[in-house]
Chains A and B, each alone.
Chain A
């Protein structure tokens, strides 16, 4: 596995302002923490932008365009119409930061894309159990074609 790229400097982004916006997008609700509760932006934004530095400039635009004091989900949707790249950068960056948090992953039961082992011959059990018998019993469903 290659090492992740170096974190990108986030000096161009007002992290407090972005966190305030992110808390509207992903607030504390239904047993889940808000973005600020798990410090997702402070902890992971540099890493996310290191992986996706193409998001940086449109994210700066999004943060500059949105006023945290009056920000709502409806305003977010309006951004989609005004500047789609900024919308995509904001939603992608906020979601990526949030779901990188181990606390959040634990709460949703997501361990990441992990390697698993299995018995390749376990299929003999469900075949023996008769799971395919109705399919086989109905007979062929393909059409004979002229040569």
Chain B
């Protein structure tokens, strides 16, 4: 007899881990299928001398560059931004920076307040209890009282160090009369929940060997499995299966040897990121129920992909600030130009996060700001800048457009011969205006902070960490894929827990909101379990 779970979760990253833990701790029989493996922290490269070589190949953020067996190719020839991700237990949290900002009240009401895009069917206040809870689960380091946000619960841990650069820019902003605040980070400043604190090595985005940076392989999966959840790694899902009555019955998956299995479940939760989830919904098309893709009666599956246009503005001081060191989350943040100001000629804004610059290879073979310089001038440049800089990392709000989308590529496949996703994405004129304004202001910030010179790396293509919007949330089934509980309008026992459901992108790093939404979705499933329709 085939084993049937209460809930099948596809993807063991940020949203999958949070949902699994909550459901398992509330008595649900949970099975999760993850195409990657458990991360081996002893293999993380940050403390090794080859760290900066590793991040250009085996530890690249691009699955296409990494090309590990668990990665699937993402075709992006027609995209201004390259989608980035990591496939493992913990998901892309293994390589994220760890900054942990909440979205703001206005982010949920952009149509009403700014006349663009769409409002969310939920509000900031709906998420506050889940933001507060997830901060405790994750172990967030920060300082309450930021006037850029409504008052909320204090963080469980004190803020991480400002560092020399953070202190200088903070003082610069005080001179300008501009906002700054210590950035909340999902990185421990002190021991917490059996984990060790950050050692300021500055390698967060290639995996935190100390385990100080939160990822669900550390913060949620051990608790989820202790509560009975079953996590199957090396399991690549090829499609969601359906009953004749239009309910999801589970998923077909392939193990590492290519042997096909079927996992049955009463409820299916997709948690595979906004590219992977859209790909799976499209792969699950069938002629009888959903010829254009599962849960796609609106035609919006795969559409409205948002990736946050990203620029980096770097400044260099005359003296050393150990610019290679410190947490790569961010030391300080600024929301000075986040909220809409009609005088700027565009709406919405961007969040800034001050980060280290990296080691010598990143300096001279820059993936962020700066140019390659060879010959005698190389040494002059290194002497003038190495260790003396810090970067404002700027994410601009990315307004949704239906032409920015994920489809199935007709030619490329993964190692299991499953069609690869193809991403088409163009940075809009609005985003270009918004980011040009932010870049100019960031240069002003660094100049006021005493930097002798600045450089702008504008709209960097290798920056698609934030994948959002391909199965949007909404109240109207004609114009959205899931409802406010993240339940598919078309398939009442199919939920989407990841950032596919984002209606708009906000201008902040999304993982905090992804996890809060996943916790809310799981919590509402628990509350409404007696009403849940399941296959016979």
Which residues from chain A sit less than 8 Å from chain B, CB to CB?
Answer: 1-2, 4, 24-27, 29-32, 47-48, 51-52, 54, 73, 76, 91-92, 95-96, 99-100, 108-110, 112-118, 120-123, 126-127, 131-132, 134-136, 138-147
In the assembled complex, the CB of A128 is this many whole angstroms from the nearest CB of chain B, namely: 13
Is A4's CB under 8 angstroms from B48's CB? yes
Closest to B378 in A: A26
- What residues of chain A lie closer than 8 Å to B339, measured between beta carbons? 141-143
Contact A108:B360 (CB < 8 A) given known A136-B147, A140-B147, A147-B125: yes
Is A145's CB under 8 angstroms from B147's CB? no
Is A145's CB under 8 angstroms from B201's CB? no
B56 touches which one: A25, A92, A138, A145 (CB < 8 A)? Answer: A92
Is B379's CB under 8 angstroms from A31's CB? yes
- In the complex, chain B residues 373-389 whose Cβ is within 8 Å of any chain A Cβ: 374-376, 378-380, 382-383, 386-387
Is B325's CB under 8 angstroms from A114's CB? yes
Is A145's CB under 8 angstroms from B162's CB? no
Contact A123:B159 (CB < 8 A) given known A108-B387, A141-B148, A145-B108: yes
Closest to B109 in A: A145
- What residues of chain B lie closer than 8 Å to A140, measured between beta carbons? 147-148, 150
Main secondary structure of the interface of B (DSSP, over half): loop
Closest to B176 in A: A134
- What residues of chain A lie closer than 8 Å to B375, measured between beta carbons? 24-25, 27, 29, 73
Contact A51:B201 (CB < 8 A) given known A110-B386, A113-B325, A142-B339: no
Contact A114:B113 (CB < 8 A) given known A92-B365, A139-B147: no
In the assembled complex, the CB of A55 is this many whole angstroms from the nearest CB of chain B, namely: 8
Is A99's CB under 8 angstroms from B360's CB? yes
B113 touches which one: A2, A31, A127, A145 (CB < 8 A)? Answer: A145
Is B387's CB under 8 angstroms from A120's CB? no
In the assembled complex, the CB of A60 is this many whole angstroms from the nearest CB of chain B, namely: 17
Is A117's CB under 8 angstroms from B199's CB? yes
Contact A25:B200 (CB < 8 A) given known A51-B53, A108-B382: no
A32 touches which one: B340, B359, B379 (CB < 8 A)? Answer: B379
- In the complex, chain B residues 116-152 whose Cβ is within 8 Å of any chain A Cβ: 123-125, 141, 143, 145, 147-150
In the assembled complex, the CB of A42 is this many whole angstroms from the nearest CB of chain B, namely: 17
**Chain B interface bracket (under 10, 10 to 19, 20 to 34, 35 or more):** 35 or more
Among the 9-residue stretches B29-37, B93-101, B178-186, B464-472, the one with 4 or more Cβ atoms under 8 Å from chain A is: B178-186
Among the 9-residue stretches B39-47, B213-221, B445-453, the one with 4 or more Cβ atoms under 8 Å from chain A is: B39-47
Residue B174 interfacial (CB < 8 Å): yes
Is B149's CB under 8 angstroms from A113's CB? no
- What residues of chain A lie closer than 8 Å to B170, measured between beta carbons? 131
Cα–Cα, bound, A123→B331 (Å): 12
- In the complex, chain B residues 400-456 whose Cβ is within 8 Å of any chain A Cβ: none
8 CB < 8 A contacts A-B: A24-B374, A96-B53, A99-B360, A108-B386, A116-B200, A135-B174, A142-B149, A147-B123
User: How does the 8 Å CB contact mask read for B352-385 relative to A, with 1 for contact and 0 for none?
Assistant: 0000000111001100000010111011101100
Cα–Cα, bound, A48→B150 (Å): 50
Closest to B150 in A: A142
Is B376's CB under 8 angstroms from A29's CB? yes
- What residues of chain A lie closer than 8 Å to B387, measured between beta carbons? 108-110
Closest to A133 in B: B174
Known: A113-B46, A144-B105. 15 other contacts (CB 8 A): A47-B50, A51-B53, A96-B361, A108-B387, A110-B324, A113-B325, A114-B325, A117-B199, A118-B161, A118-B200, A123-B161, A126-B167, A135-B174, A136-B145, A142-B149
